[in-house]
């Protein structure tokens, strides 16, 4: 089992099929892509890399990203993709921890990264000279061989290296077809968000289907550029975190655009507030699918399908839209107490997952692996509840839950309410230590441009919709929320600001 096999088989069947686009220009067809990948693989092996070696990718989105993912797999190597926005020191830490022997970088990001072997700029002459004249026969891999060492985004502490095998990623790719969307060869995935994360993982099902891969010329996410590609190339699919979806929808609304040219927008990776989802559906049409996953079971825990999102006649539609959907086909999902005992429908506990997408473990960290996978079940650290129909509603990560005066308060619930208040653009709710209550609820509020919502008005909105004890005891108004490189709000930093009095 080698993930590169999906590329080889399309190239054999239909070598002239368009494969990779640089902006709206065709860069390689499937025949040329497979040929180049096999010759790059030969170049890597001839220069001394052995099966099982790790290769770091520290670059913005680039056509070379796809070539290198598949060339490494073709050669039996494992990739270590790193977010291009990491500080060089953070990237160096990951490269060292992973024991990466080689690295590929773009000059804007990665020059300066130290590895024992070569550090190659993909726009330079060394990369151009790397493909060997004779292609390498594809390495044979065991299903359990490491394919992708995925460093967690590290919103707390040091990132951990999640070991994803060929089997894990093949199961992830197949689940796209069973639980997310069908893919036709004429469809195009656009890599706006970082390919080191979900966007890059979704290259795999699109390679399986022999679809088109579009790398924006900017190498990143720019709503205007993405809408331009939608107009010129069409049938675009994109994976995006909710904050990125919001920027896309803002752009559409401000410019009188619709979802024309887009096929599917898969959102996930962080909570999508119901209000934002309704606006997205209104502005861009029925093009959305939600997934819930985590590095440890990439892209695959649950999915909320297009059909479920649109089934407004269903008596529990409102609850379903606020959920993350049902278990995806390759996994079982249950909700359990701290001892791993399943809880009845409706009760909140930790979300547990078992199946072929669940990681092999953390790289060189057996203790963390033992803590995360118990009796074959991955403990996700997310809190949630299942309903009778199998729909999972996430609350918060267990560490984000606030315990105030002995009552559990889920920040997400308070955030959803505050977002309905006039003049509020973004909200994040955290707990602050308090001598009387243990913790109190604090809301960080980003006002909409030109608006100044006040605490009394926000209190009034809360009192109309949620229990009095859940209402924030303090509001902190700020211009922006701190976010990590994938657009997730850094609650740890907000809590830190409260602790050291800089909020």
Residues of this chain that bind ligand AMP (CB under 6 A): 152-153, 268-271, 290, 292-295, 324, 380, 382, 394, 397
**Least distance from ligand AMP to the Cβ atom of residue 171, Å:** 17
CA–CA separation, 114 vs 116, rounded Å?
7
**Least distance from ligand AMP to the Cβ atom of residue 448, Å:** 23
Three-state secondary structure call for residue 303: strand
* Structure tokens that stand for 383 in this block: 């809190």
**Least distance from ligand AMP to the Cβ atom of residue 460, Å:** 28
Smaller CB separation from ligand AMP, 140 or 275? 275
**Least distance from ligand AMP to the Cβ atom of residue 84, Å:** 16
**Least distance from ligand AMP to the Cβ atom of residue 412, Å:** 8
Smaller CB separation from ligand AMP, 398 or 420? 398
The conformational region for residue 421 under phi > 0 = left, psi -120 to 50 = alpha, else beta, is beta
**Least distance from ligand AMP to the Cβ atom of residue 267, Å:** 7
Distance spanning both ends of the chain, measured CA to CA = 52
CA–CA separation, 446 vs 428, rounded Å?
9
Q: Residue 441 pairs with which residues in a beta bridge?
A: 431
The answer to whether residues 429 and 472 touch, using CB atoms and an 8 Å cutoff, is yes
CA–CA separation, 395 vs 349, rounded Å?
9
Smaller CB separation from ligand AMP, 127 or 362? 362
Smaller CB separation from ligand AMP, 193 or 453? 193
CA–CA separation, 224 vs 10, rounded Å?
32
**Least distance from ligand AMP to the Cβ atom of residue 302, Å:** 8
Smaller CB separation from ligand AMP, 21 or 377? 377
Token pair 């990560």 in the structure block, residue: 397
* Structure tokens that stand for 125 in this block: 């002459």
Q: Among positive and negative, which fits the CA dihedral 126, 129, 132, 135?
A: positive
**Least distance from ligand AMP to the Cβ atom of residue 277, Å:** 11
Task: Spell out the residues 6+ positions from residue 37 whose beta carbon is closer than 8 angstroms to its own.
Answer: 4, 7, 67, 70, 71, 74
Return the beta strands (E) in 398-481 as ranges. Answer: 402-404, 407-409, 424-434, 438-447, 474-477
Smaller CB separation from ligand AMP, 71 or 494? 494
CA–CA separation, 444 vs 425, rounded Å?
11
Smaller CB separation from ligand AMP, 32 or 274? 274
Report, in this order, helix, strand and coil percent for the chain, each rounded to 5.
35, 30, 40
Smaller CB separation from ligand AMP, 257 or 383? 383
From the list 98, 115, 103, 166, the residue with the least C-alpha distance to 363 is 98
Token pair 């970088």 in the structure block, residue: 105
CA–CA separation, 239 vs 155, rounded Å?
21
**Least distance from ligand AMP to the Cβ atom of residue 477, Å:** 25
The answer to whether residues 491 and 500 touch, using CB atoms and an 8 Å cutoff, is no
Smaller CB separation from ligand AMP, 14 or 493? 493
CA–CA separation, 146 vs 78, rounded Å?
6
**Least distance from ligand AMP to the Cβ atom of residue 271, Å:** 4
Smaller CB separation from ligand AMP, 63 or 237? 237
**Least distance from ligand AMP to the Cβ atom of residue 404, Å:** 21
Smaller CB separation from ligand AMP, 32 or 270? 270
Strand order in the sheet with 262-267: 25-29, 18-22, 212-215, 188-190, 236-240, 262-267, 288-294, 297-304, 326-327
The conformational region for residue 345 under phi > 0 = left, psi -120 to 50 = alpha, else beta, is beta
Q: Which helix (H) or strand (E) holds 464?
A: helix 455-465
Task: Spell out the residues 6+ positions from residue 7 whose beta carbon is closer than 8 angstroms to its own.
Answer: 30, 33, 34, 37, 70, 207
**Least distance from ligand AMP to the Cβ atom of residue 269, Å:** 5
Smaller CB separation from ligand AMP, 67 or 382? 382
The answer to whether residues 441 and 412 touch, using CB atoms and an 8 Å cutoff, is no
């Amino acid at each position: 089992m080698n993930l590169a096999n999906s590329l080889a088989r399309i190239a054999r069947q239909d070598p002239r099929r368009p494969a990779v686009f640089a902006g709206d220009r065709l860069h390689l067809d499937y025949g040329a892509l497979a040929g180049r990948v096999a010759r790059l693989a030969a170049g890597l092996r001839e220069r001394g890399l052995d099966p099982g070696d790790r290769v770091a990718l520290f670059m913005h989105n680039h056509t070379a990203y796809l070539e290198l993912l598949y060339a490494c797999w073709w050669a039996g190597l494992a990739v270590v993709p790193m977010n291009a926005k990491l500080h060089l020191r953070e990237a160096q830490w990951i490269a060292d921890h992973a024991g990466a022997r080689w690295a590929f970088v773009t000059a804007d990001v990665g020059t300066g990264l130290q590895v024992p072997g070569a550090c190659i700029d993909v726009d330079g002459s060394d990369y151009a000279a790397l493909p060997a004249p004779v292609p390498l026969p594809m390495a044979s891999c065991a299903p359990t061989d490491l394919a992708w060492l995925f460093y967690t985004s590290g919103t707390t502490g040091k990132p951990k290296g999640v070991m994803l095998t060929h089997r894990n990623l093949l199961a992830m790719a197949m689940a796209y077809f069973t639980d997310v969307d069908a893919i036709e060869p004429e469809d195009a995935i656009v890599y706006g968000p970082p390919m080191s994360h979900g966007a890059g993982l979704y290259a795999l099902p699109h390679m399986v289907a022999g679809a088109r891969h579009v790398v924006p010329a900017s190498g990143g996410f720019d709503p205007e550029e993405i809408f331009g590609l939608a107009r010129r190339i069409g049938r675009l699919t994109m994976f995006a975190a909710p904050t990125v979806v919001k920027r896309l929808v803002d752009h559409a609304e401000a410019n009188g655009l619709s979802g024309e040219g887009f096929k599917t927008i898969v959102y996930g990776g962080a909570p999508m507030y119901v209000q934002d989802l309704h606006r997205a559906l209104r502005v861009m049409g029925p093009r959305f699918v939600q997934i819930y996953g985590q590095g440890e079971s990439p892209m695959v825990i649950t999915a909320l399908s297009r059909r479920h999102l649109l089934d407004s006649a269903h008596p529990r539609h409102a609850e379903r839209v606020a959920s993350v959907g049902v278990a995806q086909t390759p996994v079982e999902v249950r909700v359990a107490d701290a001892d791993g005992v399943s809880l009845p429908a409706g009760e909140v506990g930790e979300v547990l997952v078992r199946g072929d997408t669940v990681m092999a473990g953390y790289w060189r960290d057996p203790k963390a692996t033992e803590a995360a996978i118990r009796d074959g079940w991955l403990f996700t650290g997310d809190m949630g509840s299942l309903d009778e129909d199998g729909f999972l509603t996430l609350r918060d990560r267990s560490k984000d839950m606030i315990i105030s005066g002995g009552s559990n308060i889920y920040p997400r619930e308070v955030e959803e309410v505050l977002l309905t208040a006039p003049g509020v653009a973004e909200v994040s709710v955290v707990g602050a230590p308090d001598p009387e209550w243990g913790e109190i609820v604090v809301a960080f509020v980003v006002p909409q441009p030109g608006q100044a919502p006040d605490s009394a008005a926000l209190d009034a909105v809360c009192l109309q919709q949620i229990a009095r004890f859940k209402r924030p005891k303090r509001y902190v108004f700020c211009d922006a929320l701190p976010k990590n490189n994938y657009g997730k709000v850094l609650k740890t930093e907000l809590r830190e600001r409260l602790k050291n009095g800089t909020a």
